[in-house]
Amino acid sequence: MNTLTHFRLTQRPRRGAIAFLVLLLLVALLASAAFSVDVAYMHLTRAELRRATDAAARAGMETLHRTEDADAVTKVVQQVAKRNVVAGAPLVIREDQIVLGRGTQGRNGWEFTAWEEPYNSVRVVGSRANESAQGSVSLFFGKMLGTSEFEPVLESTVMKDVAPKRDFVLVVDRSGSMGNAAAGRGRQSRWQALRSAVGGFFTALDLTQDDELAGLASYSSSSTIDHWLTDDPASIQNRLGSINVGGWTNIHSGVENGTTVLSDSRARDDASQIMVVMTDGHHNRGPEPVQAAEVAAAKGIVIFTITFGNGADVKRMKAVADATGGKHYHAPTAAELQEVFQQVVTDSANLIFIR
């Protein structure tokens, strides 16, 4: 009897300790989930602010180049900023957050001097700090963790480069459907049509006065970096000739590797960073491609997308281009694919370098 009584007395505290431990673990789990939600929201807000600030600065530089009117620049920057939503509200930029100046290339790269004429640069400060027009960004669960607000501030300086430099990476689809016949070219496959169009792309680059490098990545179920940035287009065309088609379509992985190429040490800080992503099908493997495009946009990369053939996913590829301020093209036939690749050369020349 005494033994039984002793057993019960010693077991009750243990059950209470386990319940207390479970409660502690549950609280920790809820805090971790709340923290993850707020961190994700902070990343999204920064990406939105980067996109809005860059778009406003680009628009301001285009207006400055066209009109040389500081008041017009201010008006356009504010209008474009308000078209972009940051943390659920249109971004408001005050006049004192818009600075005109002159950009010059010195020993340590590009240097910006505020209000030095003749102006060739526009600097825009995108802010959701406390002192901004809209104030800080409220977090969902921040009070539980001791921080209730987020104050992102980003700066974008846009310069009209006298001797433009462009770093390209071609991200091409090598899935199984690229072995199918291309419309408008008899028995030529889509892959063969692509190789021919890339040849036309390099011919068009050769006719410009710009300083250009190019790299290559390809994707199917997964992607590979096939060539780092180079000034030798023949080496890229040779590499295209050795690639085999087959597999599914993972556009996300292709954009990821394209971003890696343009983030490598071979990429130039004073060059426009341009990714050209081509597909003939629908994304069916891996995460959503727009997510990878948003990462690229945060690094200052502009993506031009090309859909080839009537079965391609036009809507998704438009979204990928839009996420970076780029442009989408559709080429139903092989001949039109040739024209589109050459058009990319022309349109990307109108980009303004963002530092």
My answer on whether 323 and 249 are in the same domain is yes
Interatomic CA distance for residues 114 and 1, integer angstroms: 90
User: Cα separation of 158 and 184, whole Å?
Assistant: 42
Are residues 338 and 224 located together in one domain of the fold? yes
- pLDDT of 303 > 50? The answer is yes
For the beta sheet containing 121-127, the strands, ordered from the edge strand earlier in sequence to the opposite edge, are 109-114, 98-106, 121-127, 153-159, 353-354
pLDDT digits (tens, 9 = 90+) for 223-235: 999 999 999 999 9
Q: Could you give the CA distance from residue 322 to residue 302 in angstroms, rounded to a whole number?
A: 9
CATH number at residue 343: 3.40.50.410
Q: Is residue 6 part of a domain?
A: no
Same domain, 327 and 183: yes
Task: List, in sequence order, every beta strand (DSSP E) within the chain.
Answer: 85-86, 89-90, 98-106, 109-114, 121-127, 137-138, 149-150, 153-159, 165-173, 211-219, 223-230, 272-279, 301-308, 328-331, 353-354
Higher-pLDDT residue of 265 and 353 is 265
What residue has token string 């971790």?
A: 32
Q: Are residues 110 and 190 in the same domain?
A: no
Identify whether 4 is part of a domain: no
Identify whether residues 218 and 280 lie together within a single domain.
Answer: yes
Alpha-carbon dihedral 182, 204, 210, 266, rounded to 10 degrees? 40
pLDDT score, position 315: 96
| 67 confidence band (pLDDT: 50, 70, 90) | confident
Q: Report d(CA 92, CA 128) in Å as an integer.
A: 9
Q: Which residue has the higher pLDDT, 272 or 33?
A: 272
206 shares its domain with 102? no
Average pLDDT of the chain is 88
> What is the distance, to the nearest Å, from the Cα of residue 294 to the centroid of all Cα atoms in its chain?
4
Residues 150 and 218 in one domain: no
Phi, psi of 168, deg, nearest 5? -105, 145
Domain shared by 233 and 155, yes or no: no
67 and 202, same domain (yes or no): no
Q: Which domain holds residue 120?
A: 12-159
Q: What does the pLDDT look like over 148-171, one tens digit per residue?
A: 899 999 999 998 755 578 999 999
Say how many CA atoms lie within 13 Å of 149 toward its Cβ.
10
Domain end among 102, 127, 159: 159
Q: Is residue 65 part of a domain?
A: yes
- Total tally of structural domains belonging to the chain: 2
142 and 74, same structural domain?
yes
Concatenated DSSP letters of 154-215? EEEEEE--SS-EEEEEEEEE-SGGGGSBPTTSTT-BHHHHHHHHHHHHHHHHHTSSSEEEEE
CA distance 335 to 206: 20
Residues 195, 128 share a domain: no
The pLDDT of 144-149, averaged and rounded, is: 74
Domain boundary among 98, 127, 159: 159
**82/170 same-domain check:** no
Q: Are 175 and 247 in contact (CB under 8 A)?
A: yes
pLDDT tens-digit map of 34-65: 567 878 888 899 999 999 999 999 999 989 98
Residue 95 belongs to some domain of the structure: yes
User: Is the pLDDT assigned to residue 350 strictly greater than 70?
Assistant: no
